[in-house]
Chain A
């Protein structure tokens, strides 16, 4: 199955030290145990896929990685040092950018204002320091064009974009700011065929630049197309991590479904799942 991928997979040098290392992360929401001890790491230049059923805890896990949640237990190492992100802003400053499942966009604000939200470029100094609006608009249009979407105007409100266009803004924003780690939580769920290949190609590109990518998807083909390693979560625990080539698509698919047999279903659907 690995040979059908159009992307080149260098060995994500197992010797390279991980950028982010999460050890035995637990996260409880009141009496709900969302994560019950998950360990995970991303190395520079690799795409590590995080897979699993609905409610497995994938989003919760990446949110602890990007500073949204504080882990109840466990430790986070960033570039070998202990890290305790107090807010997503801290994580962003460290070079971690995230596309959240809910996208974290403000519908009433323009595409440009959303794109640079929280990290607006400025010009001028002292009391005349102001946002560099022209540059912001130009960058937004250019980054969106690269993702295969021709925006009508950068001052268009995000609320008026289509679901896929909105998702693309979130991805373009994270790619633009993800200096060291790029986390994508189901980034292709609303995308068209062309935009999906664009996103997969972008993942491949930033990986080659040495960025560590965490990619969450429910689509085995998308995961296999770009993934170097695959970690499967089930009910708040890891079922294990596999390198590419060590696992067949069928095995992966079974694991993603929580280890339950999909064979029966697949049979009745003619093997199209």
Chain B
């Protein structure tokens, strides 16, 4: 509460709230606690190399790729809807982007906006069907999960004459001025400078072991910050919470709920397109399995981050940490003696814990008991 306000007198019916109790009301608390727990776990069990600079970059890269999707999914979940088609959307947008650059030879300045536009259109189609029919988004986007995956396969075969992999993206975008924003590492100069002064680990030849920060991590951080700002500080953010909390009450209070929801579907699809562009340029090719199962991982990261399945509550910062937990567990297990396949067990366990925890939090916030 701002202290610029005249406070008549301290309320005798208000117990002073401990710092802990205030913290408990933050939606992202669970995810932050999770990051700490997972860090402790790997500090004890994993090879110390995991927490060197290159180790951190190693697990932050998959975390960022998932996190970009998870932040979109979290915003949509706060707005009261699901999108199960984001994983397939990654493959579909990847195909579109691959075909644009390789088959049609378009420069990135055309191909990238076109890919975003195309994804946003598909997202808005999802949104329109959900809004118009009043069906649960779960079922509508489940249909698109299959439709988009199928179209990606068919389209790839058409574009390549029978193969399910489209190669040659790297050659096609070689030397394009926009390429450095969507592939490779950022701040290479800074790392080279640090290496010269021996401040970061180097190879024998003096080159830094970490040549820079992968661009997806930069995008991940920017998107998390932007989403948080929108959710907490702008009218649109208020509308997203309202639309998810009670769409009817929000409409009656003057919130343009339909526009907000369709817009959110466009945002999640655009997040998928961004991940598609980054990963396709990184790999130099696109294939039909790109983004497989990512919709579930993104939703799990959002839930670990404090989003309620019923909508109206959650945070982008939570999804940010949820995705980092993910990356740490996937990559972290390779630094330990554990069987890799524990990953799935871990994932399910985290999800269950998060849902139980969030449920308790919601009851606290709304005062129901």
Contacts and interface: CB of A to CB of B under 8 A. Distances in A.
Interface SS of chain A: loop
A108 B253 contact: no
Size class of B's contact patch? 35 or more
A166 to B, nearest CB: 11
A97 to B, nearest CB: 9
A92 B256 CA distance: 12
A117 B256 CA distance: 11
B94 to A, nearest CB: 30
Contacts of A105: 246, 249
B367 interface: yes
Contacts of A100: 252
Contacts of A152: 11, 13-14
Nearest to B245: A106
Most buried by B among A89, A98, A109, A154: A109
Contact of A108 (B248, B251, B366): B366
A155 interface: yes
Give chain A's interface residue range (CB within 8 Å of chain B): 35 or more
B158 to A, nearest CB: 41
B14 A108 contact: no
Contact of A106 (B11, B237, B249, B254): B249
B356 interface: no
Interface in B353-369: 362, 365-368
B255 A129 contact: no
Contact of B233 (A103, A131, A137, A159): A131
A137 B2 contact: yes
Nearest to A170: B253
B97 interface: no
A88 B233 contact: no
A255 B365 CA distance: 45
Interface in B196-246: 229, 233-235, 237-239, 241-242, 245-246
Contacts of B253: 88, 104, 114, 117-118
Contact of B235 (A102, A122, A153): A122
A150 B8 contact: yes
Given A87-B251, A138-B5, A153-B14, 4 more contacts: A100-B252, A117-B238, A118-B250, A138-B2
- The list of the 10 closest CB pairs from A to B, nearest first, reads A118-B254, A159-B366, A160-B367, A106-B245, A120-B235, A104-B249, A104-B252, A89-B254, A130-B233, A92-B254
